[in-house]
């Protein structure tokens, strides 16, 4: 005869079996990983850029130091030794510039602001073979914080930004084959603080930002590199600027966070997904914390996405169930306009950034899944 404890245990086991049978596809949640402190850069930086070199080292350029000085200095991070080494100086100090890897292995640097918040149209490239910078042609417009995209054909696309006085509706491409900048068709609206994401089919999705009338934008558009033209698509559910965008393995794009006011004083936590098949946006829930002024993040090797910056914490978006889960560990403070790079081993390095008082740091962090 079974006693009460045995009966209760049997009932619990039976209930577990029933629940398992009803949910055969349910799997244990994947671990979200952790953030740990890395070694310091040689210089405090905010508003800088980071790009992967052909040897898989990371090239870090410009930004502002903790005293507000715009930097011409650069450095190279070696992930195998966890060391930073000073590299050549740019031809002009830059902060809020565009940077993209060229097909010949060089890194193109363009625009940004220099001393006195003067907007720059000049460009230059860094050659990792010689360790030197070479001036290149000037863009057709001076641009601070334009969005930059490396196209499938090797060209570098820059869109929008501000010339220090007004928001721009122009875009242009740099072609390494002739070393020239060429204007594209005009965007459907002027944008600064927007995102530009290379889609799986080679086109580019532009979302949000602020326009020349200081209105926060919910509008979105597509750039087609075959025609060099922009076309409007259905808008976001919520206007946002200084947000982040992540291309997911499904081909959809996660749009997360940003600010809902042109002054950037009201960060938001909402997220949405862009479907390239329907050209529509749908709600993707809310992050654990409101965030803005984040670096764009790459999808993790398992298809999830790391979102870091705009707060001291980091979190993982899982497209399988639409969840946001907090990562173990934190940055030293909420960091804005930091730079982040995903490495070949699946880890992500986060470099510097400003704190809430506008002071930059040399600190770095390592995210490991």
Q: For the segment 254-269, what is each residue's pLDDT rounded down to a tens digit?
A: 999 999 999 888 999 9
pLDDT at 28: 55
Res 334 pLDDT > 90:
yes
Res 13 pLDDT > 50:
no
Average model confidence (pLDDT) for the chain?
92
Burial class (CB in 10 A: 0-12, 13-18, 19+), 245: buried
Among all chains, which residue has been given the structure tokens 């060229």? 102
Specify the 3-state DSSP secondary structure of 328: strand
Mean pLDDT, residues 1-18 taken together: 37
pLDDT at 29: 64
pLDDT at 31: 74
Distance CA 281, CA 206 (A): 13
> Tell me, what DSSP letter sits at residue 219?
-
pLDDT at 296: 79
Question: Whole-model pTM?
Answer: 0.91
Burial class (CB in 10 A: 0-12, 13-18, 19+), 330: middle
Task: Tell me how many degrees the CA angle 324-328-329 measures, rounded to the nearest 5.
Answer: 125
- Concatenating the DSSP letter of every residue in 93-155 gives --BS-EEEE-TTS-EEEE--EEGGGEE---EEEEETTTTEEEEEPPPSS--BS-EEEE-TTS-
Task: Tell me the pLDDT band of 27, cut-offs 50, 70 and 90.
Answer: low
Res 9 pLDDT > 70:
no
Res 1 pLDDT > 80:
no
Where b means 16+ CB within 10 Å and e means fewer, 166-190 reads ebbbbbbbbebeeeebeebeebbbb
Res 23 pLDDT > 50:
no
pLDDT at 308: 96
């Amino acid at each position: 005869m079974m006693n009460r404890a045995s009966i209760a245990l049997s009932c619990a086991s039976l209930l577990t079996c029933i629940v398992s049978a009803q949910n055969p596809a349910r799997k244990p949640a994947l671990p979200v990983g952790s953030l740990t402190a890395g070694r310091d850069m040689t210089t405090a930086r905010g508003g800088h850029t980071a790009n992967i070199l052909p040897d898989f080292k990371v090239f870090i350029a410009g930004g502002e130091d903790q005293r507000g000085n715009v930097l011409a200095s650069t450095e190279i991070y070696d992930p195998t030794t966890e060391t930073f080494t000073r590299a050549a100086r740019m031809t002009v100090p830059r902060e809020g510039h565009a940077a993209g890897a060229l097909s010949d292995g060089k890194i193109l640097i363009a625009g940004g602001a220099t001393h006195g918040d003067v907007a720059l149209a000049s460009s230059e490239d860094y050659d990792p073979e010689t360790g030197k910078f070479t001036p290149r042609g000037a863009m057709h417009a001076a641009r601070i914080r334009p969005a930059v995209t490396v196209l499938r054909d090797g060209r570098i696309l820059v869109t929008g930004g501000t010339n220090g006085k007004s928001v721009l509706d122009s875009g242009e491409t740099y072609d390494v084959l002739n070393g020239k900048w060429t204007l594209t068709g005009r965007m459907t609206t002027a944008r600064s603080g927007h995102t530009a994401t290379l889609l799986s089919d080679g086109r580019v999705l532009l979302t949000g930002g602020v326009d020349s009338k200081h209105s926060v934008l919910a509008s979105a558009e597509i750039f087609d590199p075959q025609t060099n033209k922009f076309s409007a698509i259905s808008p976001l559910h919520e206007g946002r600027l200084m947000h982040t965008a992540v291309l997911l393995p499904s081909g959809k794009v996660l749009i997360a966070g940003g600010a809902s006011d042109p002054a950037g004083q009201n960060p938001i936590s909402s997220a949405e997904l862009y479907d390239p098949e329907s050209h529509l946006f749908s709600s993707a829930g809310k992050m654990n914390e409101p965030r803005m002024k984040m670096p764009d993040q790459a999808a993790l090797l398992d298809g999830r996405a790391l979102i870091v910056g705009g707060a001291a914490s980091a979190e993982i978006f899982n497209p399988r169930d639409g969840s946001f889960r907090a990562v173990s560990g934190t940055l030293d403070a909420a960091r804005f306009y930091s730079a982040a790079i995903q490495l070949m081993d699946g880890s992500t390095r986060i470099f510097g950034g400003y704190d809430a008082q506008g002071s930059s740091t040399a600190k770095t962090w390592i995210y490991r899944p």
